Amino acid sequence: MALRIEICHEDGYEPDRELTDRMFAEGMKGELDARGRRSGLVLDIGGYHKNVFTLAPCFDMTEEEIDIAVELFEQLIRRCAPDRLSH
């Protein structure tokens, strides 16, 4: 099982390699908040333009672990591209 998330400019088509790189670097710093604990998020970058994150969790990943991963990914978006969130 895998989920691929393509990072594009606001037009929804042009690859955004710069934002992808910023999100990757921020995740590697280990300065995200995982429910009161400092954490990092290691992301796999791929795709022709190197603007795609591939998420491939293990099959025994718990619902709580999935929720934490989603929260951490959202923190990366908020830190690296706050103007792109609609809410």
Q: What is the DSSP string of 5-74?
A: EE-B-TTSSSB-HHHHHHHHHHHHTT-EEETTEEE----EEETTTT-EEEE---TT--HHHHHHHHHHHH
User: For residue range 3-54, what is the model confidence (pLDDT) as tens digits?
Assistant: 899 999 999 999 999 999 999 999 999 999 999 999 999 999 999 999 999 9
For residue 17, give its domain range.
3-53+60-82
How many CA atoms, within 13 angstroms, populate the side-chain half-sphere of residue 79? Answer: 18
Does some domain include residue 76?
yes
The answer to the question of residue 38 being in a domain is yes
What's the total number of domains in the chain?
A: 1
User: Which pLDDT does position 82 carry in this prediction?
Assistant: 83
Which CATH number belongs to the domain containing residue 44 in this structure? 3.90.1150.10
Q: Is the predicted pLDDT of residue 87 greater than 90, yes or no?
A: no
Q: Is residue 87 part of a domain?
A: no
Assigned domain for 9 exists: yes
3-state secondary structure of 77: helix
34 in any annotated domain: yes
Please report whether residue 40 resides in a domain.
yes
- Tell me the pLDDT tens digit for each residue of 75-84: 999 999 988 7
